[in-house]
Amino acid sequence: MGHISLIGFMGSGKSSVGKELAKLLPSMELIDLDTYIEAMTGRSIPEIFENEGEAAFRQMERSALEDIFMTGELTGSQYILSLGGGTVTTEACRRMIRRNSTCFYLKASVGTLVRNLETWPGDRPMLKGGKSLRSRVEELMTTRAPIYEKTAHHIINVDSDDYTAAAVDIITMQD
Ligand code: S3P
């Protein structure tokens, strides 16, 4: 079994599905890319956006992925990668993800995303600004939905919020 990557919008359940998968696949190591970058830089994601901006953060996502896939190759470790909602907006990241892992898009409707983001608001720099949460999600999803679809090898619908079932489906579809 190779690496598994989880992609999808903020609030789609990437971290939750990653944790469920890690329980079912104890030989694999779970890596959350945001947490990895925070450890790598010693700063929080909002701090990175605030001080260095989005472009610098996208570059960090790219180098973090390069490190992770390289380490996997050297050590033979198998990873479950819970990526950031915007990681696949960078072409080099899309290429690496498709080439080195089986990629699953956790697909949720705007309604589900808004509801989840209202329940777990977190500190998400990409959702800041004057717009309502729904219109910001709609705006970002207009450009991102086709990118998620074309990057993924498989699409998993998560509108039911059943993350255990999503993890079982992923294992069944993993090649
Ligand atoms: C982002 C999503 C976040 C985090 C950063 C940018 C995005 O991750 O990487 O705030 O551009 O969608 P989550 O999807 O885990 O919230």
Strands ordered across the beta sheet of 101-107: 29-32, 79-82, 3-7, 101-107, 154-157
Return d(Cα 148, Cα 165) in angstroms, integer. 21
pLDDT given at position 156: 97
113 alpha carbon to ligand 1 midpoint, in Å?
13
Report the nearest-CA residue for atom 8 of ligand 1.
84
What does the pLDDT read at residue 152?
Answer: 98
Which of 40-44, 58-62, 121-125 is the least confident region?
Answer: 121-125
Structural domains of the chain, ranges and CATH numbers in brackets:
3-174 (3.40.50.300)
The overall average pLDDT reported for the chain is 96
Return the ligand 1 atom nearest residue 8 CA. Answer: 14
Per-residue 3-state assignment (H helix, E strand, C coil) for 60-93: HHHHHHHHHHHHHHHHCCCEEEECCCCHHHCHHH
Ligand 1 pocket, CB under 6 A:
10, 14, 34, 45, 84-86, 124-126
What end-to-end distance do the CA atoms of the chain give, in Å?
7
When pLDDT is cut at 50, 70 and 90, the band that residue 175 belongs to is low
Q: pLDDT by residue (tens digit) across 66-108?
A: 999 999 999 999 999 999 999 999 999 999 999 999 999 999 9
CA distances from 128 to 6, 17, 60 (A): 24, 25, 21
Would strands 29-32 and 79-82 be described as parallel, antiparallel, or unpaired?
A: parallel
